[in-house]
Structure 1
Amino acid sequence: MSSPVKAVLTEQSGQLGKILKLVIAFEKANLRTLNDQTIIKLNRYYLDSRSWASITLVGLAQE
């Protein structure tokens, strides 16, 4: 694992660390500090990722 990835996962530092913190807050429904636009975007990204994962799993099952 590269050093930058290790830093993100262990220290939640840098730009990717900020994104990781945001994702963790979203997963815990700890959204009090976020504005409505950010929450709407996160919901859309979450739904898009679920759709992508479902399509990918279906594709793998057909192989």
Structure 2
Amino acid sequence: MSNQKHGIPALVSLFIPGLGQLIKGDFIKGIMIWIFGGLAVIFLWWTVIVPLIIYIWNVYDAYNSN
């Protein structure tokens, strides 16, 4: 999957965090983003910073990871 385009997984991750990693074949990372991102939103809803950092990292990782 090294010839996989980077833009599509990043675009998909903008709407559904973790799905870009799943498209690229990194199943464990995609599932971990769902788990930790969901927990961060549930338990840290009062702060926007932590969920936002996880969200931005998710899109960045979907674009740049191999």
Using structure 1 for the length normalisation, give the TM-score: 0.38
More helix by share: 1
State which structure, 1 or 2, has the greater radius of gyration over its C-alpha atoms. 1
